[in-house]
Amino acid sequence: MMKKIHILVLFSFLLLLGCQEDKIDTQLFGSLVGTVLATEDNIAIAQATISTNPPTSSLQTDELGRFSIDQIEEGTYTIRAEKEGFVTEIENVSVFLNQSANVILRLVKESAVNSAPMKPQNPSPAVGSNDVTTSQMLSWSAEDDDNDELTFDVIFCTSNEFSCDTVAQDLTDKQYMIEGLQHETVYFWQVRAKDGFTETNGDLWSFETESFPDHRFLYAQKEEGQFNIYSTDLEGDDKIRLTNSEGDCWRPKMNPQRTKIAFLSNLGIQTHLYIMNRDGSEVTQVTSSVPVNGLNPLELSFAWSPNGAEIVYPAGNELFKIGVDGVGLEKLADAPDGQMFAEVDWATTGGFLAVRTTGNNLYNSDFFLLDDEGNFLTQVYADIPGRETGPEFSIDGNSLLYTHDITGFESSDGRQLAAHIFIKNLIDNTTLDVSEEGYILAGTNDLDARFSPDGAHIVFVNTNNDGISQKNILIMELDGDEREVLLLDGVMPDWH
């Protein structure tokens, strides 16, 4: 009996040992999909060889650059993509149970098999061109032996400072519009061609911009709440912005020699006189200790001396003269009691000044003649109901040009209903209304009148009397006939 028991125990032990040796390991699987792309353009790379570590199967990408391994054991793998002409790329990816892992491999083209782009050629404007416009389309040609897609950077340099800036990057077109160039300036430029692997700098090309045009008209224009000064031709077509300040710039006036432009600006807290070249360059501040001042800053006016060496300007109840270099400040006159200076003009002959003074509101105006030493000579216009602007001398100094609202209307906001332009003859004391009915449009105002350089025409502003409509600059003959629009949306014209 004992023997049978021993045999049974031995049999059970052997049976248990046999079961342990035949145990089957459990394997966990997921899947792997991937795509192989070219780095520079994301184009699919077909027939790229894919291998893994730990090893699975070796395969190649299809025409869309794709590959997949449906049954791959769970774990972390190193995926290797190879293609002739490209740098081999390796990525790590983790595969999880019953999940599909995704990987993207981007191959960089081997520089050893890539040809650098050829130098950009055929610049336009051609090298050494002159009389180039200040807004110019730059263009060039470029080629690449590998037919790689090219992009371009444009480097631009000025001759006077020889400072270079990259003004455009990664252009796909072989052209670039450059704007805001200075007149009579030599510029250098260069194009850099790039194919995604290497880049090639072109030669340094040059051109010279055209001379500043002989513009006869100056005016101010309000844009986005700020006044700037422009010049234009007799047709009003070729307008050029001359100022680019953080403050308002208004009331442009050219000197008798037609070389400099004086204007007012509130770049600082106060209004001051500034001078610049005809092309807007070399802006300098003239006044400093005594700013330009008056009842309404936009109606204030100053005057060049006949020789262009000095400027006379209003400063509250005082009239000052100063050299264009900011030296030699001199008080010329005090306004009558209770009045301030607003506008002034200096006759080209005879040594006379004409001034307008104001009282405590915009409707109080008187005109006086002074000698060039500041002595009051005579009153040529006494205040009457309605608002006035001016005066300005004729070329011979025998007449004054001014405006007056013939309705005599007055209100707290300074509105005018029918401002007309008048010419007052200082010899016989007669006055001519050149905006009389038949010429001026009903419901509009003629303002800011100035004589033409030949004395045969008047340039002025016309606008609706609602006070908010656009202001346009017109010209007409001395009798008010032949009214013609010069340009739209402008004020404070000057014609030299």
pTM of the model: 0.68
For residue 269, the model assigns a pLDDT of 84
| Alpha carbons 387 and 424: distance in angstroms, whole number | 16
The reply to whether domains 29-111 and 114-209 share a CATH topology is: yes
What is the per-residue pLDDT across 274-313, written as a single tens digit (0 to 9) for each? 999 999 989 999 999 999 999 999 999 999 999 999 999 9
* Type of residue found at 77: Y
Average pLDDT on 380-406 reads 95
* pLDDT higher than threshold 70 for residue 171: yes
Please give the CATH number for the structural domain made up of 114-209.
2.60.40.10
Residue ranges of alpha helices (H) inside 209-258 are none
Point out the least confidently predicted range of 20-24, 166-170, 292-296. 20-24
Who has greater pLDDT, 345 or 212?
345
Who has greater pLDDT, 223 or 399?
399
* pLDDT higher than threshold 60 for residue 17: no
Query: Which residues have C-beta within 8 Å of that of residue 440, sequence separation ≥ 6?
Result: 418, 420, 446, 462, 480, 483
Please give the CATH number for the structural domain made up of 29-111.
2.60.40.10
Quickly state the pLDDT bin for 56 (edges 50, 70, 90). Answer: confident
Average pLDDT on 56-82 reads 92
* pLDDT higher than threshold 90 for residue 5: no
- The domain segmentation of the chain, as residue ranges, is 29-111, 114-209, 217-495
Integer CA distances (angstroms), 92 to 37, 61, 104, 105, in order: 17, 18, 10, 10
For residue 160, the model assigns a pLDDT of 58
For residue 438, the model assigns a pLDDT of 65
What is the per-residue pLDDT across 81-132, written as a single tens digit (0 to 9) for each? 999 888 899 999 999 999 999 999 999 887 666 788 999 999 999 999 999 9
Average pLDDT on 142-162 reads 86
Average pLDDT on 54-61 reads 89
For residue 238, the model assigns a pLDDT of 80
Homologous superfamily of domain range 217-495: TolB, C-terminal domain (2.120.10.30)
Query: Which residues have C-beta within 8 Å of that of residue 217, sequence separation ≥ 6?
Result: 231, 232, 233, 234, 236, 459, 473, 486, 487, 493, 494, 495
Helix or strand or coil: residue 183?
coil
Helix or strand or coil: residue 3?
helix
What average pLDDT is seen over the chain? 90
As given in the structure block, the two tokens for residue 161 are: 């400072």
Of the CA atoms within 13 Å of residue 253, those in its CB half-sphere come to: 28
Average pLDDT on 358-371 reads 94
Quickly state the pLDDT bin for 162 (edges 50, 70, 90). Answer: low
What is the per-residue pLDDT across 423-432, written as a single tens digit (0 to 9) for each? 999 999 999 9
Query: Which residues have C-beta within 8 Å of that of residue 344, sequence separation ≥ 6?
Result: 301, 302, 303, 312, 313, 314, 319, 353, 354, 355, 356
* pLDDT higher than threshold 60 for residue 8: no
Quickly state the pLDDT bin for 449 (edges 50, 70, 90). Answer: very high
Average pLDDT on 199-214 reads 92
* pLDDT higher than threshold 70 for residue 470: yes
* pLDDT higher than threshold 70 for residue 484: yes
Average pLDDT on 190-204 reads 92
Centre a 10 Å sphere on the Cβ of residue 450 and count the other Cβ atoms it contains: 21
List, in sequence order, every residue forming a beta bridge with 129; answer none if it has no partner.
207
For residue 111, the model assigns a pLDDT of 67
Point out the least confidently predicted range of 109-123, 137-151, 268-282, 362-376. 109-123
For residue 158, the model assigns a pLDDT of 81
* pLDDT higher than threshold 90 for residue 336: yes
* pLDDT higher than threshold 80 for residue 446: yes
* pLDDT higher than threshold 60 for residue 358: yes
